[in-house]
């Protein structure tokens, strides 16, 4: 049994559900602990028959320390702050042997259990960004990505987790300051700071817009395990922005097309149980916490015949 946890609010509801359903499609025995970060998402999740999950509300999860911090952080910064806390809560509340944190905008194409098994007798698993040369933002954003992280319920695993939690509680903001950035730059020195860290080697885990340029998805010897759909925006009922990264037609056909189709199918199901509509509002020059860049160069149009057209923003 593999135990996972994730957090998201209404803005990431469709992505969180797509992640769960892709995990269910490719995993046999697992349990996902979903931390709903607003009442709206919590109430809507009750309308789904989500097997192998436990949905946890903020009222159940938040403690005095977090509530004291909350007003000093933006919603995004508060989510980052809470990441180590939801892992610790899951391990302690449900007496788990280990727990793997998942970003809500991950999507699985194969069973991620192989990634967790790779860590062997180590107590913590982390994943590198593996930036392509053109998009190497490791100085600001960190060497490692808080997207897929495993902590074992043992002395060393909890030592790392507690150190990270306390660090995030003290400082976790969406700015680069004194070598820190959000919850992520804290991971940069873990390999030297702790002796229980395993850095993921399987290149099928951690595909993302900033490194997909290094991969050939037609290579039959290569198995993608998960892709991180960072920067994807639904900007109208039929348009999705893929952000500024360089993609091939093959990337779009094999990764983005099935993902967007899945999101649209989930939206239709949400509309059947509630008055649901969601658009990511993007304005040129507007900063969004999930995208460190201020404009998008590509728009993909979703049409009834599943035809995708790419055009440049004017």
The domain boundary residue, chosen from 147, 177, 202: 202
Q: Phi-psi category of 216—alpha, beta or left, where left has phi over 0 and alpha has psi -120 to 50?
A: beta
Query: Do 89 and 135 sit in the same domain of this protein?
Result: yes
The domain boundary residue, chosen from 202, 229, 261: 202
Query: Do 75 and 119 sit in the same domain of this protein?
Result: yes
pLDDT of residue 296: 38
pLDDT of residue 312: 44
In a domain, 216, yes or no: yes
Determine how many CB atoms are found less than 10 A away from the CB of residue 74: 11
Query: Do 154 and 224 sit in the same domain of this protein?
Result: no
Determine how many CB atoms are found less than 10 A away from the CB of residue 55: 16
In a domain, 51, yes or no: yes
**Is residue 241 within 8 Å of residue 166, measured between CB atoms?**
no
In a domain, 274, yes or no: yes
The domain boundary residue, chosen from 156, 179, 202: 202
Query: Do 145 and 184 sit in the same domain of this protein?
Result: yes
Query: Do 38 and 154 sit in the same domain of this protein?
Result: yes
Structural domain span for residue 223: 212-312
Residues of the chain with pLDDT under 50: 283-297, 304-314
CA angle 79, 180, 204 (to 5 degrees): 70
Query: Do 182 and 223 sit in the same domain of this protein?
Result: no
**Is residue 35 within 8 Å of residue 81, measured between CB atoms?**
no
CATH of the domain at 37: 3.90.550.10
Helix-then-strand count for the chain, H and E: 11, 16
- What is the number of domains present in the chain? 2
**Is residue 206 within 8 Å of residue 108, measured between CB atoms?**
no
**Which tens digits make up the pLDDT trace of 148-197?**
999 999 999 999 999 999 999 999 999 999 999 999 999 999 999 999 99
In a domain, 271, yes or no: yes
Query: Do 39 and 166 sit in the same domain of this protein?
Result: yes
pLDDT of residue 276: 78
pLDDT of residue 181: 95
Query: Do 104 and 157 sit in the same domain of this protein?
Result: yes
pLDDT of residue 8: 97
**Which tens digits make up the pLDDT trace of 36-62?**
999 999 999 988 889 999 999 999 999
In a domain, 207, yes or no: no
Query: Do 194 and 153 sit in the same domain of this protein?
Result: yes
In a domain, 83, yes or no: yes
In a domain, 251, yes or no: yes
269 three-state secondary structure: helix
Query: Do 95 and 174 sit in the same domain of this protein?
Result: yes
pLDDT of residue 300: 63
In a domain, 229, yes or no: yes
Query: Do 48 and 120 sit in the same domain of this protein?
Result: yes
Is the CA virtual torsion 105, 108, 113, 115 positive or negative?
A: negative
Query: Do 260 and 184 sit in the same domain of this protein?
Result: no
């Amino acid at each position: 049994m593999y135990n996972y946890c994730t957090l998201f609010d209404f803005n990431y509801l469709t992505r969180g559900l797509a992640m769960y359903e892709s995990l269910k499609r490719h995993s046999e025995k697992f349990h996902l602990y979903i931390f709903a970060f607003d009442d709206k998402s919590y109430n809507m999740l009750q309308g789904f028959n989500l097997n192998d999950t436990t949905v946890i509300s903020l009222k159940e999860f938040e403690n005095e320390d977090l509530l004291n911090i909350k007003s000093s952080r933006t919603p995004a910064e508060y989510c980052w702050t809470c990441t180590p806390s939801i892992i610790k809560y899951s391990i302690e509340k449900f007496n788990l042997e280990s727990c793997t944190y998942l970003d809500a905008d991950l999507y699985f194409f194969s069973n991620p259990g192989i990634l967790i098994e790779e860590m062997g007798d180590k107590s913590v698993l982390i994943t590198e960004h593996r930036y392509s040369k053109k998009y190497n933002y490791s100085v600001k954003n960190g060497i490692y990505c808080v997207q897929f992280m495993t902590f074992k319920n043992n002395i060393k695993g909890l030592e790392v987790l507690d150190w990270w939690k306390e660090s995030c509680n003290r400082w976790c903001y969406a700015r680069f300051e004194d070598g820190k950035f959000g919850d992520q730059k804290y991971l940069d020195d873990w390999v030297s700071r702790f002796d229980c860290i395993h850095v993921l080697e399987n290149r099928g885990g951690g595909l993302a817009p900033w490194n997909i340029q290094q991969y050939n998805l037609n290579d039959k010897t290569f198995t993608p395990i998960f892709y991180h759909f960072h920067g994807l925006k639904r900007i109208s009922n039929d348009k999705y922005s893929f952000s500024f990264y360089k993609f091939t037609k093959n990337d779009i056909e094999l990764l983005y097309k099935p993902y967007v189709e899945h999101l649209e199918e989930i939206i239709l199901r949400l509309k059947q149980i509630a008055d649901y509509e969601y658009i990511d509002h993007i304005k040129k020059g507007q900063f969004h916490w999930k995208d460190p860049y201020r404009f998008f160069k590509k728009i993909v149009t979703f049409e009834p015949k599943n035809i995708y057209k790419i055009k440049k923003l004017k």
